[in-house]
Amino acid sequence: MAVLEEKLPFVSIIVPVKDEARVVGRLLDALLRLDYPSEKREIVIVEDGSVDKTVEICREYVRRYPSQTKLVRQSISKGKPSALNYALKHVKGEIVGVFDADNVPEPEVLLRIAEYFADPSVGAVQGRACTINSDENMLTRIISNEEALRCKAYICGKDVLGLFIPLTGSCYFVRKSVIGEVGGWDNESLSEDTEMAAKLLERSFQTRFAPDVVSWQESPANLKQLFKQRLRWFRGTMEVALHYGRLIAKKPDMMGIDAEMTLIGPYMLPLCLVSYVITGYTLLSGVKLDFFYTLFLYGISVFSMISLLAIGLALVFTAKPRRTSNLLCLPLIYLYWSLQITVSVVALLQILLRTQRKWLKTVKSGVVIRCPSK
């Protein structure tokens, strides 16, 4: 149900930027085109130590649209969560939204968000991300399909069942009062979005997933950038899981159990690797293990392989246009899975060795292969 204009909440959109000269103008143009009363929104750009022309570009937008945009700066780069907390001091909206610089939100996002927040029990809303460069190469196509499947099946299902909804770093909105109650973002976290979601659950604030709130964003187009991005995601999520292991004790219900299962997900990947290695070794060496132990290991290996095959076939037959050449994607699904396992192992080793946390920024090129709807 549409919200009457006079009852629309004031929305402050925070845009954290660092060396985003290639994409930040595109995002600001999209935000300024949003179908929402200009007097009920503001764009707060928080600059975090850029060395390219990001600052000059942002200043030009502030000069041209002084009533809708403002620029605040941190002289020393401390990472995205620190930038978000700094920007929070300068916002005046009832609802706070976060968009990464490579995003291109669709025009109706704020009007649709207002409908969700019309329910006073809702503390946060996560929108849906679509890949803007899905057809750039085979890797971006796989990532695009992975994200689509995750949103349409996994997250939508969790929302319908009233389970834990993770935040994904961009195109999400939280009541400002709620952010204050949970103490803002954790400056030391590598996965500030997941950490915020855990805080919201711990304080019993409801988070909704909004599949009709769509923003287009750029996916990594090469393995180096993907590795850096996922390494930060996995280590950050693993550390959140360690810190919020108390969730089940505080919430011994389906919501708490689902949250813990979601957070420990990256830990399952190294276990898969162990099962693969032991299974391969026993098959090649002829060593006989205990029946139930063997059944457990073989079960993990076979189940994961069949699951990947099913996912690969689903992606092949849902891809448009349908071509026989799409079958070539199947081996890449297994390679992609192997990469994910490798990243998770590296992330786990970093935690065990207590290596210094580093905010590994994902470089954006500004490539647009698939144009968002207007």
Q: Residue 152 and residue 73: Cα distance in Å, rounded?
A: 37
pLDDT score for 326: 60
Q: Which CATH number do you get for residue 49?
A: 3.90.550.10
* Helix axis angle, 254-263 to 265-285, nearest 10°: 60
Residue 348 lies in a domain: no
Indicate whether 329 belongs to any domain. no
**Considering the domain boundaries, does residue 197 fall inside one?**
yes
User: CB-hemisphere CA count at 13 Å for 129?
Assistant: 24
* pLDDT, position 319: 58
Q: Left (φ > 0), alpha (ψ -120 to 50) or beta: where does 241 sit?
A: alpha
The DSSP bridge pattern shows strands 95-98 and 69-73 to be: unpaired
For residue 83, tell me if it sits in a domain: yes
Q: Is residue 310 in a domain? A: no
For residue 325, the model assigns a pLDDT of 57
Would you state the pLDDT for residue 316? 60
Q: What is the mean pLDDT of each run of 10 residues along the chain (374 residues)?
A: 81 96 96 96 94 94 97 87 95 97 96 96 96 88 85 90 93 97 94 95 95 95 92 95 81 85 91 81 75 70 72 62 62 84 96 87 72 49
In-domain check, residue 268: no
- Rounded to an integer, what distance in angstroms lies between the CA atom of residue 196 and that of residue 252? 20
pLDDT of residue 374: 43
The number of distinct structural domains making up the chain is 1
pLDDT score for 157: 92
At residue 55, the pLDDT reads: 94
Q: Specify the pTM.
A: 0.89
User: In the prediction, which pLDDT does 262 show?
Assistant: 92
Domain hosting 192: range is 11-221
Cβ pair 207, 200 in contact under 8 A: yes
**Confidence (pLDDT) at 98:** 98
Contact between residue 46 and residue 17 where contact means Cβ atoms under 8 Å apart: yes
